[in-house]
Structure 1
Amino acid sequence: MTGIKLYPYPRIDEAVEWSEVSIAVDGHSVEHDELADRWDAHSTITLSVTATVPLAQFRKNSSTAPVLTLTAGCYSTAESVAARSQFVLGATRASASAQVSMGGAKIAQQLEVKATLTVPFGDEKWLERRVIAQRRPEKINLDSELSGFPTSAVSFKDNNWREAPWMIDISAVDLTDPFMHSIRLTLNLDYPRVVELVEGRAEQYVEMALEAAIIRALLQTARRLADESTRGEVDEYGRDDAVTRAIEEFPDSIAAAAEKTSRQYLNLPLGSVISRLRSRPEGVETLILNATQALKEKR
């Protein structure tokens, strides 16, 4: 049996200079700590890395030049992309830059970025690229440090908005859109009770009313998106195909958040709630009010 040399080339990690990961959202450069607030499900995030190597090290391993490979992956959605780039020779150094792009609808929570230099070796497919240098893997957070979805508090009167204690804006256009970047809560500081809520001293009935409003908006949105996505298609158990796939394949999606909310507050799977919203929406409203104990006072 012929032996296979697994490490045919010496590593040159110490000789390689790696750039910081550059980030752009829809073509506009952003800092790492700004990314969480600058992207949404409709954005395109582009990541790029440059590697520079002294010519002496660059040429010592093989007659074939090394290649820069950049990979970005999202563990939460199992999405990954990769790109390869050839080096350009300078007077004393060689450099290569690679970039990858990912759609906002396909990622959530965090990205992991890896970069390697490889050199061809052998005829076997799995031996094509031998790693000679590797950048330390870097994790880039996509979510802000807020414990919930984005929330702001403003005067509706100053913004010429209709009077209401709060406004829930949901931008999702598909069941798989990331929940954290598809919903925003805006509180109206013109209402004294809402100001108390912002300050953490609200009456319990105010908290219950807001909780019911969020549940209602999330479940109604899931029903609307399901209607737009399924077109009546169901699986062997009679469940909406699109809803089931979104929940199972995209754990950070708005569908998954609606499923969790439905089970936590109504003790029903999302598919069942969507069916009820189509046939008897008033029954779901009763379930929501019961779950949040709206207006119930202590005796």
Structure 2
Amino acid sequence: MSNGQPVAVDGLADRWDADSVLSFTVSVSVPNSKIESLNDGGPVLNLSIGCKETGESTYSRAQFSKDSSKAYATATVILNGSAVAEQLELRATVTAPFGNSAWLSRRIIASRPVEKINLDSHLVGFPTSAVSFKANNLAPAPWVVRINAVSLSDPCANSIRLLLNEDYPRVVELIEGRARPYVEEALQVTIIRSLLSTAQRLSSIEGGISVVADVIAEYPDSIAAAAEKSCRDYLNKSLPAALTLLEREPETVEHLITSAVGFLKGR
């Protein structure tokens, strides 16, 4: 669920933002005969969810209750949208004690495959909010990328936020998943430019372009790594190579960006 409204897992990417409250529920039922065969104690349903990109995780446990033929358990986990990005992993197991050994007190007797829940919509892989720029006294624009990173190694998921202006009809179409191609292309251009300019600014503070490759290798979830991925995906260049070209020929980089996203091509 997102903000109390039922949402299919495969549709969650377009139904959440940093202000959402996300909840996930798993229910299990088993025949009573299976429960009664456990002589050392009753089973417990364990549910956990985590986000590798931000390190956020939470879990819950639920005891089974019985009716005349089956035993049931339901567990729910809750996360704030501001604490997650890109992808979640949902794990569910049923455990039961075995004997008197402490290390077997949570023996796994059943599990389901880890479910990977994609939060990365067609827009971006970081938290996105839709707001009225007019109501929030922001200068009119279709969107703004806010980056608060102070180091190349800062985690990308916690450093970037995209604000979409719901005052613009074309942006509302984007929010609703029915964007016109040129709008998506324009947004991609903005994001690439923002990542590149941020990497350029931070690298100039931290020792120049020569330090960038080491940061990317050491911090794979960093703002530098995100800029590296953007450069390789769209410009077919490493981030250090793109930054070097940006210093020498900024107009060439601009040409490469608009070419890579196919901006206005065939429109």
In the superposition, the TM-score normalised over structure 1's length comes to 0.53
C-alpha distance 118-76 of structure 1, shift in aligned 2 (>3 A): same
Q: Check if 1:256 corresponds to 2:225.
A: yes
Distance 2:148 2:217 in 1: 13
Q: 1:178 is matched with which residue: 142, 157, 160?
A: 157
In the superposition, the TM-score normalised over structure 2's length comes to 0.58
Distance 2:200 2:65 in 1: 53
Residue aligning to 1:53 = 30
Once the two structures are superposed, what CA deviation does each residue of 1:251-290 show, in whole Å capped at 9, x if it has no partner? xx655322444688697857x96xx9xxxxxx96764323
Once the two structures are superposed, what CA deviation does each residue of 1:125-144 show, in whole Å capped at 9, x if it has no partner? 43222222323443322223
Distance 2:60 2:124 in 1: 34
Identity %: 35
Q: Secondary structure at the match of 2:252?
A: helix
Q: Check if 1:35 corresponds to 2:4.
A: no
CA contact (8 A) 2:216 2:224 kept: no
C-alpha distance 149-113 of structure 1, shift in aligned 2 (>3 A): closer
Residue aligning to 1:291 = 253
Q: Residues 101-120 of structure 1 correspond to what in structure 2 (within 5 A)?
A: 101-104=78-81, 107-120=84-97
Deviation at 1:98, TM superposition (A): 1.5
Q: Secondary structure at the match of 2:2?
A: strand
Letter of the structure 1 residue corresponding to residue 5 of structure 2: S
Question: Which blocks of at least 5 consecutive residues in structure 2 are unaligned?
Answer: 127-137, 171-179, 259-267
Distance 1:211 1:285 in 2: 21
Q: Secondary structure at the match of 1:47?
A: strand
Once the two structures are superposed, what CA deviation does each residue of 1:158-216 show, in whole Å capped at 9, x if it has no partner? xxx988xx74422555553539x833678x899xxxxxxx667xxxxxx8x98775443
Point out the more displaced range, 214-223 or 28-37: 214-223
C-alpha distance 86-245 of structure 1, shift in aligned 2 (>3 A): farther
Distance 2:14 2:148 in 1: 19
- Aligned CA RMSD, in angstroms, stands at 5.1
Deviation at 1:36, TM superposition (A): 0.3
Distance 2:87 2:163 in 1: 20
Distance 1:40 1:140 in 2: 14
Q: 2:195 is matched with which residue: 208, 218, 223?
A: 218
Distance 1:254 1:77 in 2: 13
Distance 1:56 1:108 in 2: 42
Once the two structures are superposed, what CA deviation does each residue of 1:24-79 show, in whole Å capped at 9, x if it has no partner? 34xx2331233101223454422121222343332221251111111224455665
Distance 2:92 2:181 in 1: 46
Q: Secondary structure at the match of 2:193?
A: helix
CA contact (8 A) 1:53 1:93 kept: yes
Q: Secondary structure at the match of 1:182?
A: strand
- The structure that has the greater radius of gyration is 1
Work out the number of aligned pairs and report it. Answer: 230
Question: Which blocks of at least 5 consecutive residues in structure 1 are unaligned?
Answer: 1-22, 151-160, 191-197, 201-206, 277-282
Distance 2:70 2:194 in 1: 57
Q: Check if 1:69 corresponds to 2:46.
A: yes
Distance 2:59 2:65 in 1: 20
C-alpha distance 245-48 of structure 1, shift in aligned 2 (>3 A): farther
Distance 1:137 1:210 in 2: 33
Q: Residues 140-219 of structure 1 correspond to what in structure 2 (within 5 A)?
A: 140-144=117-121, 146=122, 167-171=142-146, 173=148, 175-178=154-157, 182-183=161-162, 213-219=190-196
Deviation at 1:97, TM superposition (A): 1.8
Q: Secondary structure at the match of 2:47?
A: strand
